[in-house]
């Protein structure tokens, strides 16, 4: 039994919204991985990554994402490895027998375009709360950071005038 009443604890509770405390609209955000934490709750390796939005009106907002290794599910393992690699983690380090912390060490500093969605959490809660979930990581390439090409137009030159 807690030292405070359940009502007092409920009044103090905050619903997680993606790490920064602000629910971001669904969309694509360019973000940099700021830090990682590897833990082992309930006997399963878990990787937590803190991202920070780099551009736009949400610049500076934080997004947390967690990946949990579920060895009993081949599909969940496939999703883990695919997402881990897209974040910037090293599958080669894992293949060579390295631990998750070593394989994740290259993630901080990585820049990715994160596709966020908004989901109800926990499912079926009344009233419903909403949280951000990262549904995709896209590597930022040279092409994706180039400014758009704007055609240059020149004023027409009249026949009896010199151009400059």
* 78 neighbors 72 (Cβ within 8 angstroms): no
- Residue 158 confidence (pLDDT) above 60: no
CA distance 133 to 67: 11
Q: Per the structure, how many domains does the chain have? A: 1
Question: Is residue 67 situated within a structural domain?
Answer: yes
Q: What is the CATH number of the domain that holds 105?
A: 2.40.50
* 145 neighbors 67 (Cβ within 8 angstroms): no
**How much is the pTM?**
0.72
Element (H, E) at 27: strand 27-39
Question: Is residue 119 situated within a structural domain?
Answer: yes
* 132 neighbors 63 (Cβ within 8 angstroms): yes
pLDDT at 119: 85
Question: Is residue 22 situated within a structural domain?
Answer: yes
CA distance 110 to 51: 9
Question: Is residue 132 situated within a structural domain?
Answer: yes
Question: Is residue 20 situated within a structural domain?
Answer: yes
Mean pLDDT of the chain: 81
Among 14-18, 59-63, 108-112, 145-149, the least confident range: 14-18
Token reading at 50: 């803190």
Question: Is residue 5 situated within a structural domain?
Answer: no
- Residue 42 confidence (pLDDT) above 80: yes
Question: Is residue 52 situated within a structural domain?
Answer: yes
Report the candidate in 137, 141, 129, 124 with the shortest Cα–Cα distance to residue 65: 137
- Residue 112 confidence (pLDDT) above 90: yes
Q: Which domain, by its residues, includes 134?
A: 16-140
pLDDT at 131: 82
């Amino acid at each position: 039994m807690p030292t405070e009443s359940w009502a007092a604890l409920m009044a103090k509770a905050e619903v997680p919204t993606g790490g920064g405390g602000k629910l971001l609209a669904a969309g694509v955000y360019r973000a940099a991985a700021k830090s990682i934490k590897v833990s082992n709750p309930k006997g399963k390796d878990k990787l937590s990554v803190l991202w920070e939005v780099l551009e736009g009106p949400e610049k500076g907002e934080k997004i947390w994402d967690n990946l949990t290794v579920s060895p009993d599910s081949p599909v969940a393992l496939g999703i883990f490895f695919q997402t881990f690699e897209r974040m910037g983690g090293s599958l080669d380090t894992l293949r060579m027998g390295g631990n998750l912390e070593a394989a994740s060490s290259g993630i901080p500093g990585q820049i990715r375009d994160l596709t966020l969605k908004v989901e109800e959490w926990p499912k079926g809660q009344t009233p419903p709360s909403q949280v951000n979930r990262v549904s995709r990581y896209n590597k930022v390439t040279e092409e994706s950071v180039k400014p758009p090409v704007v055609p240059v137009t020149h004023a027409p030159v009249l026949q009896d005038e010199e151009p400059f």
